């Protein structure tokens, strides 16, 4: 692994962490000297108390707001286009992304395209999108990463209380996504001393708390939010590798990102020579997700999609060949044919 001495480290201007901090959104928006706000969120979030806390905070600071909630679970570039139209119609000066990674990726891209201020508030513990300068969207049915400093949020507000409504399955899949970020960013060929330090701390926190968080332990949920945040910081400054490359063909076929990462992570870890005991521990966590596999998928076509993902494969600490990827997908297919989950 290379240890890059010369590097840039990109972060939001301000990151706020703590229980109840969603109530600070209005105050932070006010500091950005805006009056009109567009909240980007999911339809399901509109019914939750957390959303009411967010809107009350904006009202308390006399900020007007509108809502855009038409975001696909695997977001499309068209979602960004529609969000941008809504922002223009409402003359919004600030976009708030309030939700999981899909919501924040749409919010960041729309805000960057329109040169608007942006505040990100995650409601899951996994993607780290609130602190990255990356937005992953489907373009013509295939996932594509947009990477640009303009995508960096002005403010990230991470409130662990917002994750309490997550199901055990969502807690597991998003938590594994964060774990993958911490591992891959530590091993990434683009990593540096600062990113490695943050990634290692994130890894230790996440692996110690993920099973407890799945069981509903509130302190563990708080630790998962912190671990996800730290892993996101590493992600934005080191980049991910083989597991994310393997996950994209699954997401292109409708598998949610966290679930796709969970399915491929043990195979990526094994390929890169990770500790057997840790891999087995991950498999136990993954069993709670009940991942899916369609036996009609063309694994050769999927392997070609992986090999075209140079950005992720160049980061991997071990060289990856087409035969390696085909072998991994072949093993996965065989496992699922037998009715197993990993």
pLDDT digits (tens, 9 = 90+) for 73-131: 999 999 999 999 999 999 999 999 999 999 999 999 999 999 999 999 999 999 999 99
% of the chain surpassing 70 pLDDT: 98
Q: Could you tell me the pLDDT band of residue 341, with boundaries at 50, 70 and 90?
A: low
Q: What is the pLDDT of residue 335?
A: 86
Q: Are 127 and 101 in contact (CB under 8 A)?
A: yes
What is the average pLDDT across 44-68?
Answer: 97
Phi then psi for 66, rounded to 5 degrees?
Answer: -125, 170
What Å distances lie between residue 70 and 64, 84, 283, CA to CA? 20, 12, 34
Q: What average pLDDT does the segment 149-158 reach? A: 98
- Sheet containing strand 36-40, edge to edge, reads 14-17, 155-158, 117-122, 94-99, 36-40, 64-68
Domains belonging to the chain, first-starting first, are: 14-163 (3.40.50.1970), 168-337 (1.20.1090.10)
Average pLDDT of the chain to the nearest whole number: 94
Coil, strand or helix: which one is 291?
Answer: coil
Is residue 170 scored above 70 in pLDDT? yes
Both tokens assigned to 338: 């037998």
Give the alpha-carbon dihedral of 333, 336, 340, 342, to 10 degrees: 40
Say what the pLDDT of residue 4 is: 67
d(CA 7, CA 4): 7
- 293 phi and psi, to 5 degrees? -150, 130
For range 239-263, the mean pLDDT? 94
Q: Decide if pLDDT at 1 tops 60.
A: no
67 — phi, psi (to 5°)? Answer: -130, 135
Q: Is pLDDT of 8 > 70?
A: yes
């Amino acid at each position: 692994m290379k240890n890059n001495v010369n590097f840039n480290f990109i972060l939001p201007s301000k990151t706020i962490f703590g229980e109840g901090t969603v109530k600070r959104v209005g105050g932070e928006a006010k500091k950005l000297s805006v009056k009109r706000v567009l909240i980007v969120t999911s339809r399901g979030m509109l019914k939750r108390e957390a959303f009411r806390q967010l809107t009350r905070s904006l009202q308390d600071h006399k900020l007007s707001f509108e809502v855009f909630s038409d975001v696909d679970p695997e977001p499309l570039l068209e979602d960004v286009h529609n969000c941008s139209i809504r922002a223009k119609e409402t003359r919004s000066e600030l976009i708030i992304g309030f939700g999981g990674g899909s919501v924040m990726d749409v919010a960041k891209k729309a805000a960057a395209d329109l040169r608007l201020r942006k505040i990100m508030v995650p409601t899951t513990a996994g993607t780290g999108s609130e602190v990255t300068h990356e937005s992953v969207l489907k373009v013509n049915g295939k996932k594509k990463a947009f990477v640009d400093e303009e995508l960096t949020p002005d403010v990230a507000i991470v409130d662990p209380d917002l994750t309490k409504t997550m199901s055990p399955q969502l807690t597991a899949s998003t938590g594994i996504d964060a774990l993958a970020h911490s591992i891959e960013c530590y091993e990434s060929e683009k990593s540096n001393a600062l990113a490695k330090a943050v990634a290692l701390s994130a890894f230790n926190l996440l692996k110690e708390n993920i099973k407890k968080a799945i069981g509903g332990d509130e302190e563990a949920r708080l630790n998962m939010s912190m671990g996800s945040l730290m892993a996101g910081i590493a992600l934005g400054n080191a980049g991910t590798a083989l597991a994310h490359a393997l996950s994209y063909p699954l997401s292109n076929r409708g598998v949610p990102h966290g679930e796709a990462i969970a399915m491929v992570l043990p195979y990526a870890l094994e390929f890169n020579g990770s500790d057997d005991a840790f891999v087995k521990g991950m498999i136990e966590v993954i069993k709670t997700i009940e991942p899916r596999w369609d036996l009609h998928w063309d694994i050769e076509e999927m392997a070609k999609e992986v090999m075209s993902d140079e950005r992720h494969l160049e980061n991997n600490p071990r060289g990856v060949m087409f035969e390696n990827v085909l072998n991994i997908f072949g093993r996965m297919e065989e496992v699922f044919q037998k009715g197993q989950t990993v």
